[in-house]
C-alpha cells in the first residue's frame, strides 16, 4: 500500500522566519505527519530576509529555469532547497528577483503591505504546483497555511483540474489569526481572469479583502482547519457557514494524530463519493 502524500504550502516556516503560531505549526506539523508514516513535501517563499548562507540554501538547477506569466509579464522561477537537520526534513523555496529579493517579507519598512502581494501570491502558488509537476510527485492532499496561500485551492480546482498530477488531489486550508487588515490590489480579479478564470470563479474577491480571500479558499477546499484558537469574527463565521469538513482548533504539538486522521477522512469521503 503506497504512503499518503501530503504537500505543505505555507507563507512562513520557522527557523527561516521568526517564530509565531503559523511558522511553528508549519515547521512541526510536517515532521509529525512524516513520523506517522505519510510522505511529505514542504514549500514556502524565499523572502529576501532569509539568510541563505546561514540556512545553507542552494538552487535546484533541474527544477529551475521555467518562466511563469503573471498579469501578462514573464517572471523566471527559481527553486532553492534547504534542510532542517533536527527534523530530517527538506524545505523547497519559491524564488524570483522581482517578487522575493526585497529584505522585508509582506510589509515594507513602514509597515505597509506591498501593493504587489497579490502577484507575489499568484507566482508563489503557481510556482509550487509547477515545481511539484516537475518533480513528478502527485500529492494526495495539499495543506495550505495562511492567507498568502489562499489562491492555491482555486488554482488546483480550476486551473490544474485536468492535470493528472492533481486530478484526485484534495485541498485542506488552515485559517489563522493574522495582522493583514487591508486588501489585495483591486485589479486582482482581472489578473486572475488573465489566467482563464471566469467572473463567477473568482466572485468572492471582487473586493479582495482578507476575509474574502478566505472565503475564496474555503469554497475551493475539501477540508478546513481552525489554525488559531481565536479567528477574526468574519473569518470564523465564513468557516462555519462553508459546511466543509472542519478540524476544530487543536494544538498541533499535541494533535498530530488528529491531523493525520483528518487527511484520511477527507480522502475516504472522496472515495465514497466517487464509488
Task: Supply the CATH number for residue 150's domain.
Answer: 3.40.50.2000
**What pTM does this model have?**
0.95
Q: How many domains does the chain have?
A: 1
Q: Which of 63, 93, 66 is nearest to 81 (CA)?
A: 93
Q: Which of 175, 254, 174, 173 is nearest to 221 (CA)?
A: 173
Q: What is the CA radius of gyration of the chain?
A: 17
Residue 248 has what pLDDT? 95
Give pLDDT tens digits along the chain (275 positions). Answer: 689 999 999 999 999 999 999 999 999 999 999 999 999 999 999 999 999 999 999 999 999 889 999 988 999 999 999 998 787 899 999 999 999 999 888 888 888 889 999 999 999 999 999 999 999 999 999 999 999 999 999 999 999 988 999 999 999 999 999 767 678 999 999 999 999 999 999 999 999 999 999 999 999 999 999 999 999 999 999 999 998 999 999 988 889 999 999 999 999 975 433 32
Residue 39 has what pLDDT? 96
Residue 275 has what pLDDT? 28
Residue 273 has what pLDDT? 36
CB 80 within 8 A of CB 16: no
Q: How far is CA 72 from CA 66, 68, 127, 201, in A?
A: 15, 9, 16, 20
Domain residues for the domain of 250 are 5-274
Say how far apart CA 272 and CA 251 lie, in whole Å: 29
Residue 179 has what pLDDT? 63
CB 141 within 8 A of CB 263: yes
Say how far apart CA 159 and CA 126 lie, in whole Å: 10
Q: Which three cell numbers stand for residue 165?
A: 498530477
Say how far apart CA 100 and CA 48 lie, in whole Å: 6
Amino acid at each position: 500500500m503506497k504512503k499518503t502524500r501530503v504537500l505543505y504550502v505555507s507563507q512562513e516556516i520557522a527557523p527561516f522566519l521568526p517564530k509565531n503560531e503559523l511558522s511553528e505549526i508549519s515547521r512541526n506539523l510536517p515532521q509529525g505527519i512524516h513520523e506517522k508514516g505519510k510522505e511529505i513535501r514542504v514549500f514556502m517563499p524565499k523572502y529576501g530576509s532569509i539568510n541563505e548562507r546561514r540556512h545553507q540554501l542552494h538552487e535546484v538547477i533541474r527544477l529551475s529555469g521555467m518562466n511563469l506569466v503573471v498579469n501578462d509579464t514573464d517572471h523566471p522561477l527559481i527553486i532553492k532547497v534547504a534542510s532542517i537537520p533536527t527534523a530530517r526534513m527538506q524545505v523547497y523555496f519559491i524564488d524570483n528577483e522581482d517578487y522575493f529579493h526585497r529584505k522585508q517579507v509582506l510589509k515594507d519598512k513602514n509597515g505597509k503591505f506591498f501593493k504587489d502581494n497579490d502577484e507575489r501570491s499568484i507566482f508563489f502558488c503557481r510556482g509550487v504546483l509547477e515545481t511539484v509537476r516537475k518533480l513528478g510527485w502527485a500529492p494526495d492532499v495539499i495543506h495550505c497555511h495562511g492567507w498568502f496561500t489562499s489562491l492555491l485551492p482555486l488554482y488546483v480546482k480550476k486551473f490544474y483540474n485536468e492535470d493528472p498530477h492533481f486530478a484526485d488531489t484534495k485541498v485542506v486550508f488552515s485559517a489563522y489569526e493574522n495582522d493583514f487588515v487591508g486588501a489585495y490590489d483591486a485589479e486582482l480579479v482581472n489578473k486572475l481572469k488573465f489566467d482563464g478564470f471566469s467572473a463567477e470563479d473568482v466572485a468572492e474577491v471582487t473586493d479582495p479583502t482578507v476575509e474574502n480571500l478566505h472565503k475564496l479558499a474555503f469554497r475551493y477546499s475539501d477540508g478546513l482547519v481552525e489554525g488559531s484558537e481565536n479567528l477574526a469574527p468574519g473569518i470564523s463565521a465564513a468557516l462555519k457557514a462553508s459546511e466543509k469538513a472542519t478540524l476544530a482548533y487543536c494544538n498541533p504539538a499535541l494533535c498530530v494524530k488528529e491531523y493525520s486522521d483528518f487527511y484520511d477522512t477527507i480522502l475516504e469521503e472522496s472515495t465514497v463519493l466517487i464509488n
